[in-house]
Structure formats: C-alpha cells, structure tokens
Amino acid sequence: MLPAAFTTQLSLAAVLSSSMDAVLGVQNPLGLRRVERMIVVVVDGLGANSLRARSGHARFLAPFLTKASTIDSGFPTTTAAALATLCTGTTPGTHGLVGYRVLDAASDRMVNQLNGWDDRLDPATWQRSETVFERATMAGVRSYAIGQPRYRDSGFTHAVLRGAEYVPGKQVADRFAAARDILRRPGPSLTYLYVSELDTVAHASGWESPAWTAELEALDGQLATLSASLGRNDGILVTADHGVIDVPQSSHVLFDTVPKLVAGVEFVGGEPRCLQLYLTDRSPAAADRLAATWQDVEGERSWVATREQAVEAGWFGDAVDEVVLPRIGDVLVAARRRIAYYDSRDPLQSGRNMVGQHGSLTPEETRVPLIRLGAIA
C-alpha cells in the first residue's frame, strides 16, 4: 500500500489562493473572512513536528499550533514543487515542477528546478499554471513578493512569483520591515514573505541543533512584532513548504553499490530522500522490473512506486497532464526511515554534507503549520 500524499482536505494549494479571495471578499476553501491586506509568511523547512518539539523557543507562534492549524504540504516535499503549488494553487501534476532534479526530455538532460534555469528552460512555459499574483493583478489587487535580493531575477522566481512586485530584503529583519511598510500603504494588497534561513541552517546543522533553535527564536520575535502592527482589517497566515528530518552520515545509503538497483538507469533525479530514476528503456515493463528489484532490497525502509503507480496514488495531485508525465521518474523511491540515498559515482558527492533533509512522504516532512493571525484568527 502506498501512502497518500494529501491526507487532509486542505494543502498548500489552498493557502495563497484563499488569501487572495479573502482580499476580494470571495468565499474560499480556508473560510477566511474579508480583509484589506493579507500577508502569507512562508518559512522554509518549518515542519509542524519541529515547531511542536521546540515550542518553548517559539513562545509567540507555538501556542497557535493545533491539529486544526496543521495541513499537508503535498509531494514531493521539496521547495521547488511546494512553492509552485502554493503560488499557483495547483498541484505538481498540473504546474509541472515535480521534483528537485527532473528530466527535461526535450534536451535529454537533468535540470535543477531551483537554480538550473537557462535559455533552454523557459520559466514562463515550464511552470504551466497562472500564478495567484497574476490573478490578483487582473483583479486590481497589488501583490508583493518579499525575499532575498539574490532571488530577484532567478528563473525560479520568474516561474512561480511572476505577477508580483519583488521587494528585496537581505536579512530576515529587513523583510519583516518591508512587510510592515506594505501594511501602511492604502488599498488592498496580497504579500508573500519568504524566510529561507531555517532551512539553510537545517541543511548545515540539522533542525535539532542549537543554531536552528536560535534561528527559530529570532523568527518568532519578528512574527510577534509584525502581528502587533496589524490593523483591524489585516491578516497573516504563517505556513511552510515542508518539514525536515535529520539524517546522520551513518544513515546514508550508497545505492549504486548494489548493481541491480542501477541496472538500466540512465539518470538519477529527485533528491536523497526521494529518488526519481529514469531508465534507458522507458517501457512500463522495464519500470515494473526495476521497481520490483528496489522493493525486494529496500522495501522495508522505503516506499517504491513506478510512475504509473505514483500517479494513480495521487502523489502529484488528482491529475497529471500529459506534458508533465515524462518529467516524473520511471521509478520513485521515497524513504520512510531516517535514511538518505546517495550515488557514490557522483564525483562531487553532492549533498553528502547535509544533515537536515526532506523530500519524502513521512509526517515529519509533509505536515506543516497554517497559523492565522490578526483579522483572520
């Protein structure tokens, strides 16, 4: 039995689109009341499990975390896919960002969905859905995306944030100050505020580290200050793209050292906790054979599915467009234990220094907060 990717009625796909609807005074899946200004704070890597475990270090935010204020991020639990889901209101099978590293079949190459954009990968067409910001603009609502200056002109930004006015802020405090400035501007507005620092620290040191806890405390203070500055018709939603699991190097699995696990594999995509394997022989029969081999070897600690099985299980949403299907691996291996898969043939040994990891379907990775503040609380 494969797990469901979406175990609750609400997911990230409902968050930003419902926020826009609230500004417009339209009924929405989250049941948000009408507001004039809405801010959606997206904290990269802040899983509900981690926030609950460190609640004493988030004295403002943590008391709002309940079962009712926890939602599914979706699948895969990787930033590229999750933020595209948030910013379009559609799932990966529709918007097309189906993983961290995926196959660009037209160029017969693997592409990184966060920083691998070039002249052969057009953000305007590869990400296939209209963004919430584009819809907001057409409805007469000013929309803003607040993030680090280095992300302003990235391909990923053009793919998922198009339609928003980009407001740079190098430090977390700068970004929250920019959000408070927007609240003082007249007229309706929708603001996306992105905080990457917790995820960065988690990758380097783990979410269970003192450094991560310190970053959470600083964020908690910024959220308390922002909340205190809200007017009576202003609201904030605090959410995340995914959670994090700490994986020690002793739990790295060098899967290529078992030759039958890479027999017929042309490309390795996805990420260490959710491999997407692309075969030289793209036939369903070849995928079935490799999936059966992986199931025999790794089935005790990972979920193994062919593309067809993953699509049928709804991992990429209710529907997957024909154009998107080839981007998904022929075989997917999603870790369910505290492990990560690496290819020892990789000369760069990419990612072997990461502690905090994500990508799979465990509750620690998929369950994220959705906390309401201000007029929508």
Which CATH topology does 12-98+113-242+363-374 take? Alkaline Phosphatase, subunit A (3.40.720)
Annotated domain spans of the chain = 12-98+113-242+363-374, 249-357
Collect all residues with Cβ–Cβ distance below 8 Å to 327 and sequence separation of at least 6: 96, 98, 99, 102, 103, 104, 105
Helix axes 172-183, 210-228, angle to 10 degrees: 10
Reported pTM = 0.97
Alpha helices in the chain (DSSP H): 15-24, 48-53, 79-88, 92-95, 123-126, 132-138, 155-160, 172-183, 197-205, 210-228, 284-298, 307-312, 363-366
Residue partners of 21: CB distance under 8 A and separation at least 6 = 27, 28, 32
Q: Within its chain, how far is the Cα of 47 from the centroid? A: 11
| The domain defined by 249-357 carries CATH number 3.30.1360.180 | yes
Burial class of residue 356 in the structure, from the number of CB atoms within 10 Å of its CB (0-12 exposed, 13-18 middle, 19+ buried)? buried
Per-residue pLDDT of the chain (377 residues; tens, 9 = 90+): 899 888 777 899 999 999 999 999 999 999 999 999 999 999 999 999 999 999 999 999 999 999 999 999 999 999 999 999 999 999 999 999 999 999 999 999 999 999 999 999 999 999 999 999 999 999 999 999 999 999 999 999 999 999 999 999 999 999 999 999 999 999 999 999 999 999 999 999 999 999 999 999 999 999 999 999 999 999 999 999 999 999 999 999 999 999 999 999 999 999 999 999 999 999 999 999 999 999 999 999 999 999 999 999 999 999 999 999 999 999 999 999 999 999 999 887 778 999 999 999 999 999 999 999 999 99
In the DSSP assignment, the letter for residue 156 is H
